[in-house]
Amino acid sequence: MKRYGIVDIGSNTIRFKIYDYMNGKVRHSVSNKKTAGLIAFKKKGKLNKAGIQVLVSTLKKFNKHMEELGVDETYYFATASLRNIDNTEEVLDIVKNKLNIHIHVLSPEDEATLSFEIIKEKDLYGSDGILIDVGGGSSEINVFKNKTPIDDVSLPIGSLLMYQEYVALMFPDENEKNLIQKRVLKEIKNSGIKKHNREVMTGVGGSVRSIKRLLIYLNMIERHTKLIPINLLDDLLNELSHNTKEDYNKVLQIKAERIHTLIPGLIIIKTIAEYFHVKYLHVTNYSIREGVLNAIINGEFDSPGDIIFK
């Protein structure tokens, strides 16, 4: 048996997962996370000293846990959290010098490919569709036909970033919702992606999983529901239309740490779906972390950590 540790440094959450690999099979064994909110420490385009300290202390703690649990091989990666700052190399050097940890910053293209490949293998709904991954600082869109990507983009918008830029209180008011929606549409159009029509969109990541959990909690869908009608996203927005304790508690019951980012994430997902005339949302439990692990097992990383898909 070989034990792998995968650390995902996101704009909102830093998490690690440990996987045991034996006889061609992967089993998830341990996970932990910290809602670090690194994007909130971005000042004048750079991750500031306080943010770097949060990153270093979190990775130090996670690294200790993985050593105690007998991890054989670790892989630390970041996406928009460190990709979309002006002092990326400085941050990487500090982490390397303090912890002897090398963080691999994935490009938008590699991020999209890693997510798509694992979903295609494990949980892709249909041959034609759209795969989205809405994170804290960016959103990836991957359009595919016959299970082959034909168009993909990375949008510089995410649930935490939209909260930071547009929301004054806990939940956005109607004007703030409209501003977020307009920003999403602007970024989609500026990206140059074609306006493909797809019936089903598969969602990756914590935002979309939290939305499904909330829909189940509010008895708007059954637990076993595979395809969520897109019009239910409007119903969910209406259900959370007030900045009241009652509405806050609905989110607190299912995912307390996402109370401020769930609605911005919901608006992003809803806007992307409507742009591509999507009728149903399919939520997968697989993520880029499993994609990274799959690439490592298949020997698709070279020694510095660059992807060499075969």
Compute the distance between CA of residue 161 and CA of residue 267 in angstroms, rounded to an integer. Answer: 13
Where do the domains of the chain lie, and which CATH numbers do they carry?
2-106 (3.30.420.40), 124-283 (3.30.420.150)
The DSSP letter of residue 243 is: -
3-state secondary structure of 4: strand
| Confidence tier at 302 by pLDDT (50, 70, 90) | low
Compute the distance between CA of residue 37 and CA of residue 51 in angstroms, rounded to an integer. Answer: 9
Compute the distance between CA of residue 123 and CA of residue 115 in angstroms, rounded to an integer. Answer: 11
pLDDT digits (tens, 9 = 90+) for 24-52: 899 988 999 998 989 999 999 999 999 99
- pTM: predicted TM-score of the whole model, two decimal places: 0.91
pLDDT digits (tens, 9 = 90+) for 123-138: 999 999 999 999 999 9
The DSSP letter of residue 102 is: P
Sign of CA dihedral 6, 76, 130, 212: positive
Compute the distance between CA of residue 193 and CA of residue 189 in angstroms, rounded to an integer. Answer: 7
CB 233 within 8 A of CB 104: no
